[in-house]
């Protein structure tokens, strides 16, 4: 079953019964707050995920992601949760320090 593991949320595991699906949709549908200042339109980088493993289970980078990489607003291994689709398998991600919410307790 396709799965997202959020490493610095105490290895929280989120299963998805239907794919392909945008990573942020799967996270939000499971009641987890995830920053997205531009309304999931790929215009900012507040929803970025730091990908630790499972890149092969994701859709290829979109034009906004490639543009942000070129501008230095995303680094290698970072993706936009609003643009990236989970296709199969498992991905392990982290919330970036700058994108953490103050009301959520994170692990390290």
Is 74 in contact with 45 (CB distance < 8 Å)?
yes
pLDDT tens by residue, the chain, 108 residues: 899 999 999 999 999 988 899 999 999 999 999 989 888 888 999 999 999 999 999 999 999 999 999 999 999 999 999 999 999 999 999 999 989 999 999 998
Structure tokens that stand for 25 in this block: 């949709």
Dihedral class, residue 77 (left if φ above 0, else alpha if ψ from -120 to 50, else beta) = left
Residue 19's pLDDT is what?
Answer: 87
Residue 69's pLDDT is what?
Answer: 96
Angle at CA of residue 79, ends 18 and 42, nearest 5° = 85
48 vs 89: CA distance, rounded Å: 20
Residue 17's pLDDT is what?
Answer: 85
Return phi, psi of residue 48, to 5°. -60, 145
Residue 41's pLDDT is what?
Answer: 86
């Amino acid at each position: 079953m396709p799965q997202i593991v959020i490493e610095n949320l105490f290895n929280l595991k989120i299963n998805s019964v239907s794919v392909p699906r945008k990573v942020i949709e799967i996270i939000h549908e499971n009641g987890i707050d995830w920053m997205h200042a531009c309304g999931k339109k790929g215009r900012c980088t507040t929803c970025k995920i730091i990908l630790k493993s499972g890149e092969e289970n994701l859709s290829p980078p979109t034009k906004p992601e490639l543009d942000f990489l070129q501008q230095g607003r995303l680094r290698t291994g970072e993706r936009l949760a609003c643009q990236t689709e989970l296709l199969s398998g498992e991905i392990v991600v982290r919330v970036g320090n700058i994108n953490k919410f103050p009301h959520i307790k994170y692990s390290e």
